Amino acid sequence: MKVRQKTVPESPPPAEKQRPPSTVEYVHLPLGEDVLAFAGYYTPEQEIRLPFRGREVLYATGHIVVESACHGGSCTPQNYWYASVQGYVVNWQHRKNESGLPVSEVEPIPDRETRKEVEDIVLRTESVSRVDFR
């Protein structure tokens, strides 16, 4: 009878364990101007840099209008106020895009516990019915 040797999975190299978080670019839209969307439009109203655990979380609030929402045989317009959390500010308005709008580098918030904590803060401090994360 042959005895198999126990194999132990290899650990990833230290460089992979300490991989820097990914960042994305956020284009700052003009505030108070309607942006056309699929079934209506939205209007960014303000941007907030929320101090949070020694960093800043960037989120925008605004108003969404769905011009024709059909449900149960009737179609009516709907609207609500929203907050869109972009993430931690890494590099604030460090450049302008081809349209001349400012661009910031942000790090999206990946974990549920932190998202829930930020969502609770936003819901307590803003008059919004919905909080979305990048």
Domain count, the chain: 1
Cα(52)–Cα(118) distance, integer angstroms: 8
Q: What pLDDT shows up at residue 12?
A: 52
User: Is residue 111 situated within a structural domain?
Assistant: yes
Extract the tokens encoding 100.
């001349």
User: Is residue 16 situated within a structural domain?
Assistant: no
Q: What pLDDT shows up at residue 11?
A: 53
Instruction: State the pLDDT confidence band at 60, using cuts at 50, 70 and 90.
Output: very high
What range defines the domain where residue 79 resides?
21-133
Question: Is the confidence at residue 74, as pLDDT, over 80?
Answer: no
Question: Is the confidence at residue 30, as pLDDT, over 70?
Answer: yes
Cβ neighbours of 88 (radius 10 Å) = 20
Extract the tokens encoding 62.
């605004």
Angstrom CA distances, 36 to 44, 62, 64, 105, stand at 12, 13, 10, 24
Please tell me which of 8-17, 19-28, 33-42, 44-53 the model is most confident about, judged by mean pLDDT. 44-53
- Per the DSSP assignment, residues forming a β-bridge with 47 are 60
Handedness of CA 97, 101, 106, 111 (dihedral sign): negative
The stretch 53-68 carries a mean pLDDT of: 93
- Per the DSSP assignment, residues forming a β-bridge with 76 are 69
- The more confidently predicted of residues 77 and 49 is 49
Q: What pLDDT shows up at residue 21?
A: 62
Cα(29)–Cα(26) distance, integer angstroms: 9
Question: Is the confidence at residue 87, as pLDDT, over 80?
Answer: yes
